[in-house]
Chain A
């Protein structure tokens, strides 16, 4: 226990807490729009596709400078998104299969490259594998500050575009009829998803970060019928999951952060599924059933 309070008072951990809180909040908020747009699985493919980007940058430039690695992650994520859309457009393959193909190809490539890097160790390769499941404890202050600042920017951007996202997801035809630039709004949302995935993979890992985008919003949907409240609640649920994942994984040696975050989010989801005031299972037959 003493050890635990000592941990909490360390400056580094305080930054980890702030970072995980903001990252969780940003994921929940952005994930709400992704969920309503029925693109949750695409975000999962994007996340998995970040891994080869990280590895390629490391192999090409022999650097572990985080912004470079994350730039690589963003590039391969976007390529994956584009290839899903291209497959659906130019073949008979439907979206679900296209996502499955893309996700596994990119992640497979990532694992191959990672193994290559580890077998050709040049001394400072350790740590790249934490991009798979995330490792909050290994983050240095600068990394966490980057996460915190990035997440804050994304939250502000999402708040700015709230009304625009709402109409272009609910009724894109009508929005276009009004002359609103729906394609541009879609691109902004895509950018936000890539950004949150990219800044989050160090902490949560590519395998599970999509859960941080998906689970808090579906939990929130069980408590409200209003988009504003849904995004707010999803943000809070995401923040709680993020913080508990970061704290537990730091306090207990060698626990990966991503899985703990996802388990926390899932506990909140189960609770919401059962007790949620809007269509929660135990309140079925109530006025909202």
Chain B
């Protein structure tokens, strides 16, 4: 069964198309890396799928139902740089936000929700930081808090926007570990990813994107030099130069 079906999605910024006719289907339980050069529309794609941005056209189905009706089974890890980390709140509070659509309007989090949030913090190794002000966490720790929040959502399909950006090696390992656990639990994961060197290790499916999908499918069939060259233009030579050079950044 397909966990996600995106059909004919187009998005424009200032009358310029940022995404053009994107269609693809993601099978349940897969781990998909969304790969492409800077400005290819990777983050835009995730935000458009989640309807956080206005789209020109396109439909999204999650488990064969319109996305709107499936919010409770969708988990989201936004880019860490998009929030104000000086905000007066602590790690546990942020994780609890993952439960807000379950808690309901005007109500406070129940004990059960708090216990669950603490459990999620523990699963990412952050149990000792629950009451720590979020600005006093390192970049890697902040990312782990975001992961714990996504985990708290207890979703069936997860969208992650550059979760590895600016994190240390141990956090990257922790993220990968968690994603593997999600996969073992049958959850579907889509990740905007930059580091071409790790694609083969991390993902069983790849979406190569440059405003429009270049290729989508199982990693060993899609992640080929020919496809990469098509997606990245002539800028692919660094692949042969060793792992460091392939680290992208935005």
Residues of A within 8 A of B (CB): 36, 160-161, 163-164, 166-167, 169-171, 173-180, 221, 224-227, 230
Contact = CB atoms under 8 A, between A and B. Distances in A.
A221 B135 CA distance: 14
Given A163-B108, A171-B83, A180 B100 contact: yes
Contact of B101 (A160, A173, A178): A178
Contact of A179 (B87, B101, B103, B149): B101
Contacts, number: 76
B103 A163 contact: yes
A227 B87 CA distance: 8
B18 interface: no
B33 interface: no
Contacts of B107: 163
B44 to A, nearest CB: 12
Contact of A177 (B76, B94, B133): B76
A280 to B, nearest CB: 15
18 contacts: A160-B106, A163-B100, A164-B106, A166-B97, A170-B87, A171-B83, A174-B76, A175-B97, A176-B51, A176-B52, A177-B52, A178-B76, A179-B68, A179-B72, A226-B88, A226-B89, A227-B89, A227-B93
Interface string B44-65: 0001001110000000000000
B84 A170 contact: yes
Contacts of B103: 163
Contacts of B78: 171, 173-174, 177
Contacts of A225: 88-90, 133
B247 interface: no
B52 A171 contact: no
Given A171-B78, A174-B76, A225-B133, 8 more contacts: A161-B106, A170-B83, A174-B97, A177-B71, A177-B78, A178-B76, A179-B72, A225-B89
A168 to B, nearest CB: 10
Contact of A167 (B84, B88, B100, B108): B100
A226 B90 contact: yes
Contacts of A179: 68, 71-72, 101
B60 to A, nearest CB: 13
A230 B52 CA distance: 30
Nearest to B102: A178
Interface string B135-155: 000000000000001000100
A171 B94 CA distance: 10
Contacts of A167: 97, 100
Nearest to A179: B71
Contacts of B68: 179
Closest 9 A-B residue pairs measured CB to CB? Answer: A179-B71, A177-B76, A225-B133, A178-B101, A227-B88, A170-B87, A171-B83, A173-B78, A160-B106
Interface string B103-121: 1011110000000000000
A12 B98 CA distance: 49
B89 to A, nearest CB: 6
Contacts of A166: 89, 93, 97
A287 to B, nearest CB: 9
Contacts of A164: 100, 105-106
Contacts of A230: 88
Given A160-B106, A163-B103, A173 B47 contact: yes
Size band of the interface chain B makes with A: 20 to 34
B74 interface: yes
Given A164-B105, A179-B101, A173 B82 contact: yes
A188 B71 CA distance: 23
Most buried by A among B68, B103, B133, B149: B133
A44 B133 CA distance: 30
Given A178-B71, A178-B100, A179-B68, A170 B52 contact: no
A177 B89 contact: no
Nearest to B134: A225
Contact of B97 (A161, A170, A176, A226): A170
Contacts of A226: 88-90
A224 B103 CA distance: 26
A230 B89 CA distance: 10
A251 to B, nearest CB: 36
B88 A224 contact: yes
A166 B105 CA distance: 12
A173 B89 contact: no
Most buried by A among B72, B106, B149: B106
Contacts of B97: 166-167, 170-171, 174-175
A159 to B, nearest CB: 9
B88 A173 contact: no
A178 B90 CA distance: 20
A40 to B, nearest CB: 14
A227 B134 CA distance: 12
B74 A177 contact: yes
